[in-house]
Chains A and B, each alone.
Chain A
């Protein structure tokens, strides 16, 4: 009760500070060479109030204060404390408050950490960021106030959706948001730098840090979401091309491209238009993602509430930001790349430019696949569903030259270069093709496209692996990331080629047997936990080579709200995952059993961690240099 009041008024105060910051910025902008301390302290105060508000919401959840509508809708007294806390951002209102928290946190850190940049630039960045912040304050207070009061006070809450009651998912939103919302600071600072025409090499190396931070968190956030989907949704896959996954992938693609462009800009002061457009695109795509999943225009796990008013607000706000940035781009930006536009074809810039176009291609495939169904529905009232085959068919062929480019590109030098040591490049290529051919021949999967794809992935793998040992490395971070990427593609390929699956219906005591595997459904246990009851199936699975494993997948019936979920049992080993999930067949006494062997599952997670590790190394290296 008291928390709700404090939380609500903190939000109001935060909004007022946001508005007053416009005034201070205006005053400071014209007549000062140093940043007004008022600005800094007000930004801090705004952050402080948002933190207070956020803590209030957390406390309301912890003490199960059901006079708060958000708590009532999303919590329950029997929930473990951990999920009470994570329930704070497991709903629409709370997650928007988290958005706001990250927005204010980033601008404060930005102001504190940015040195050696013009004061005007800092102030303008603050102004643009405050436009976003004030927009979100209004959105939160007007349409999705997390502190709504209900009377009479209910004695019990409605509970948190059980599929969200999971450790990976508890930290997935904050991490992903740091990436998503972190891109706001890039957006604001690019708009500021464009308006002031100060885009230069020094600006690039300053903003690169922020791009890296967002990129690392976004990568890890997507990874966590994917891990969660793998073991919680029980479909045995890690990526489903679901609209919600796509909207997190799109900013990632844009941000990754931006990261490459900023490296060029830092060295050569070219590709400025790319940098500006990509920075705008990254944040707009993040916002667009919020719009798509929050407005109810798409249906998914993440659609917390289908309130058209909310959708409309985000939509209008999103397009105001888009139009603002378009205006700034066309009005202030004069393309001065032209003088150096005729760079030599065999150079690093060219390879990065080619890489950009590939990334843009992937981005547009995902974008079209995600929003085209909406367009078609509006224009012609037809419903289509775009599934994995669409993405696979359009992406896989282009992955091959992309992988080759990734292997050779970094070997080139800036502006002009001759390839030295051509011999090892060619010999590695031949080795890769031979190896891919042999591996696939061995498993009777010898289709031309697979061979080529695996060869190119192997090629990148070998080249990057060699670089770890050969060069006295200047660019270890890039090498780690590219190595991780080759490993990722290889793992995904092997995973999809060599997975095997058994789907069968079994009663207790029955046995399923084929030439390779024997599944014995031994017994069923019951378990009672605080927030759910579980039925545990005990399985003994033996392979033809004598290995035996015990599995106990669960069916959980959560009490608040009453929802049944399947908990897969997964045995992870270095080379493969064994995955079993059971489902109750309605009105029948047998269970539907799905058993999958998925090779290289662990490597998919590891390689994504490697990719982000590259970013972390780059970030640390940068700090050490200074």
Chain B
């Protein structure tokens, strides 16, 4: 009797190990930390892109409206890729796209917009990148979906068709 328990228990143990490895295979191993969702947007003063006037953040983001804050730069290659998607999104007019120009040369940024079009309702300049830090941005490009002065969702890296669809879904 004793002799039979051992093999069975060994087989059962390996069976369990098999099961766990099997389950482990199913999960995606791409791990992104939980981003700060549903967080109040920070308070800041920022320069307007064209006029150069200082604007308070409370005047930019109004309650009951949906905004997409997009941090971009003319020197950032992925920004070029996502620009077309932003252009498409701006055509629908469902969301106010706010641009934040990050650590950029002003004339380069203007040429960038001339070349690829301007999807932004308003554009502001973050010359030294400090305001992006307050937003908790890792780099460019990065986008924040904002409603009622709260960050609904944060998108790290360039937007693509799939993410645009997700944004459209969230807006509804």
Residues on A facing B (Cβ under 8 Å): 291, 295-299, 306, 308, 311-312, 315, 319, 322-323, 326-327, 330, 374-375, 377-379, 383, 587
Chain A residue contacts of B14, Cβ below 8 A:
319, 322-323, 326
Residues on B facing A (Cβ under 8 Å): 6-7, 10-11, 14, 18, 20-27, 29, 31, 103
Which chain B residue lies CB-closest to A291?
B21
Shortest C-beta distance, A29 to chain B (Å), equals 26
Chain A residue contacts of B6, Cβ below 8 A:
330
Chain B residue contacts of A308, Cβ below 8 A:
25-26
A374 to B25, CA, bound (A): 10
Chain A residue contacts of B10, Cβ below 8 A:
326, 330
| In contact, B26 and A323 (Cβ under 8 angstroms) | no
Asked, given contacts A326-B10, A374-B24, whether A315 binds B29 with beta carbons under 8 Å apart, the answer is no
Chain A residue contacts of B18, Cβ below 8 A:
315, 319
A298 to B22, CA, bound (A): 13
- Besides A306-B29, A374-B20, 16 new A-B residue pairs in contact (Cβ under 8 A), listed by A number: A296-B29, A297-B29, A299-B29, A312-B22, A315-B21, A315-B22, A315-B25, A319-B14, A322-B14, A323-B14, A326-B7, A326-B10, A326-B14, A330-B7, A378-B23, A587-B103
Given B7, B11, B21, B103, which contacts A297 in the complex, CB threshold below 8 Å?
B21
A-B contact count (CB 8 A): 47
Chain A residue contacts of B23, Cβ below 8 A:
378
A308 to B26, CA, bound (A): 7
Which chain A residue lies CB-closest to B13?
A326
6 A-B pairs, CB-CB below 8 angstroms? Answer: A296-B25, A299-B29, A315-B22, A315-B25, A326-B10, A378-B27
Q: Which secondary structure dominates where chain A touches chain B?
A: helix
| In contact, A377 and B25 (Cβ under 8 angstroms) | no
Shortest C-beta distance, B1 to chain A (Å), equals 14
Which chain A residue lies CB-closest to B16?
A375
Shortest C-beta distance, A197 to chain B (Å), equals 17
A375 to B24, CA, bound (A): 8
Shortest C-beta distance, A293 to chain B (Å), equals 12
Chain A residue contacts of B29, Cβ below 8 A:
296-299, 306
Asked, given contacts A319-B18, A322-B14, whether A297 binds B31 with beta carbons under 8 Å apart, the answer is no
Shortest C-beta distance, A306 to chain B (Å), equals 7
Chain A residue contacts of B22, Cβ below 8 A:
312, 315
Chain A residue contacts of B27, Cβ below 8 A:
377-378
Given B20, B25, B31, which contacts A311 in the complex, CB threshold below 8 Å?
B25
Which chain B residue lies CB-closest to A312?
B25
A59 to B85, CA, bound (A): 44
| In contact, A383 and B31 (Cβ under 8 angstroms) | yes
User: Could you say which of B7, B10, B21 has the most chain A C-beta atoms within 10 Å of its C-beta?
Assistant: B21
A315 to B11, CA, bound (A): 15
Chain B residue contacts of A326, Cβ below 8 A:
7, 10-11, 14
A306 to B24, CA, bound (A): 13
Given B20, B21, B26, B31, which contacts A379 in the complex, CB threshold below 8 Å?
B20
A297 to B29, CA, bound (A): 7
Shortest C-beta distance, A561 to chain B (Å), equals 15
| In contact, A374 and B21 (Cβ under 8 angstroms) | yes
Which chain A residue lies CB-closest to B31?
A383
User: Could you say which of B6, B11, B14, B24 has the most chain A C-beta atoms within 10 Å of its C-beta?
Assistant: B24
| In contact, B11 and A323 (Cβ under 8 angstroms) | yes
A370 to B138, CA, bound (A): 30
Chain B residue contacts of A327, Cβ below 8 A:
7
Chain B residue contacts of A297, Cβ below 8 A:
21, 24-25, 29
A378 to B21, CA, bound (A): 8
User: Could you say which of A291, A308, A374, A379 has the most chain B C-beta atoms within 10 Å of its C-beta?
Assistant: A374
Chain A residue contacts of B103, Cβ below 8 A:
587
A326 to B25, CA, bound (A): 24
Shortest C-beta distance, A215 to chain B (Å), equals 26
Shortest C-beta distance, B71 to chain A (Å), equals 14
Chain B residue contacts of A298, Cβ below 8 A:
29
Chain A residue contacts of B31, Cβ below 8 A:
383
Chain B residue contacts of A291, Cβ below 8 A:
21
Shortest C-beta distance, A588 to chain B (Å), equals 11
Chain A residue contacts of B11, Cβ below 8 A:
323, 326
Chain A residue contacts of B20, Cβ below 8 A:
374-375, 378-379
A312 to B103, CA, bound (A): 47
